[in-house]
Structure formats: C-alpha cells, structure tokens
C-alpha cells in the first residue's frame, strides 16, 4: 500500500520533467532536422551572415508591412465607397419621397378644387331653382290669399283680426335674391 502512495506521489512529480523534456527535445529536433532550424544554427555559428539575415528580415518585414498597409487601404477605400453609395441612395430616396409628396399635394389640390367647383355649382343650381320655381309659387300663393281676402272683405265675410294674426296666417314670405 505504501508503494502505491509513493508511485502516485512520484507520478505527479514526473509531469513537469516530462513537459520540460518534450520542449527541449522539440527544440533540438527543430534545430537539427528542419531547414529553418539549420538556418538558425548557421546564423549562430557564423555571425557575419547574421547581418545579411537581419537586412533580409528587415526587407521581408517592410514588404509584408506594405502588403498589410495596401490591404488596409483597400478595405478603407471599399468602406468609403460603401458610405458614399449609402449617402447617394439616401439622397435619392429623399428626392423620390419629396417628388411623390409633391404629386400627392398636387392631386389633393386638384381634388379640393373639383369639390369646391361642385359645391359652387350645386349652390348656384339651388339658387336658380329657388328663383325660378319656389319664388313664383310663393308669390302665386301670396297673390291668391290677397285676392281671396280682398274678395271676402268686399262681400263682408272677413273677420276682425290683428296684424300679427294676419302675418302668421299668410305663411312664409318669398326671399328674393338679386
């Protein structure tokens, strides 16, 4: 039982060494068995070549930086173009909306004008009917009553009435519009 506990304790203490050994083995394998590792070994053993590698690295970094910068500028250009296109579409939609609103306003004015013309025509027709038909009928009714009352008075059949009673009995007075 004690051996099992020691193995468990020893087993948990082994993992840091296993990880360190794996990292060291991987680094040595990289340095000795890859092309990039051989270049690094050669640069360390020949410091004169390291200067050439630094210039090459600087040139490489500059080229990559230019590529990234050009790519970023392209993205910014597309973004600007998208914004301009959106603004153009917004202005165009606003102009179409205003044009449509003016058309609706024109139609509204046209309908309102037509309604006013119809109302004016109906009003003129009503006045014409009143003047042509109703006024003469009212005048004939008043003339008939006047003649009737005159005849009654002449033959003595008219009663004594006040002026107000006579006015009420006569009915509506025709309205003349000149």
Q: What is the dihedral of CA 71, 73, 77, 82, to 10 degrees?
A: 60
Which distant-in-sequence residues (6+ apart) come within 8 Å of 67 by Cβ? none
- Distance (Å, rounded) from C-alpha 131 to C-alpha 176? 7
> What are 46-68's pLDDT values in tens digits?
666 655 666 676 777 788 788 88
- Distance (Å, rounded) from C-alpha 43 to C-alpha 57? 13
Domain locations in the chain as residue ranges? 1-45, 46-170
| 133's tokens | 């038909």
pTM: 0.36
What's the pLDDT band for 176 if we cut at 50, 70, 90?
Answer: low
Q: How far is CA 54 from CA 32, 41, 43, 65, 175, in A?
A: 22, 15, 10, 16, 115
């Amino acid at each position: 039982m004690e051996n099992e506990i020691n193995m468990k304790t020893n087993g948990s203490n082994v993992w840091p060494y296993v990880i360190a050994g794996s990292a060291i083995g991987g680094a040595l394998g990289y340095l000795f068995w890859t092309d990039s590792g051989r270049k690094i070994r050669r640069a360390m053993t020949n410091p004169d070549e390291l200067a050439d590698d630094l210039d090459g690295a600087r040139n490489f970094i500059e080229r990559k930086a230019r590529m990234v910068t050009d790519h970023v500028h392209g993205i910014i250009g597309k973004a600007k173009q998208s914004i301009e296109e959106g603004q153009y579409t917004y202005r165009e939609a606003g102009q179409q909306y205003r044009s449509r609103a003016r058309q609706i306003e024109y139609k509204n004015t046209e309908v309102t004008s037509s309604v006013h013309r119809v109302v004016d025509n109906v009003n003129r027709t009503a006045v014409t009917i009143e003047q042509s038909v109703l006024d003469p009928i009212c005048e004939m009714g008043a003339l008939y009553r006047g003649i009737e009352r005159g005849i009654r008075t002449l033959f003595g059949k008219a009663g004594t009435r006040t002026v107000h009673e006579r006015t009420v009995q006569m009915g509506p007075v025709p309205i003349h519009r000149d």
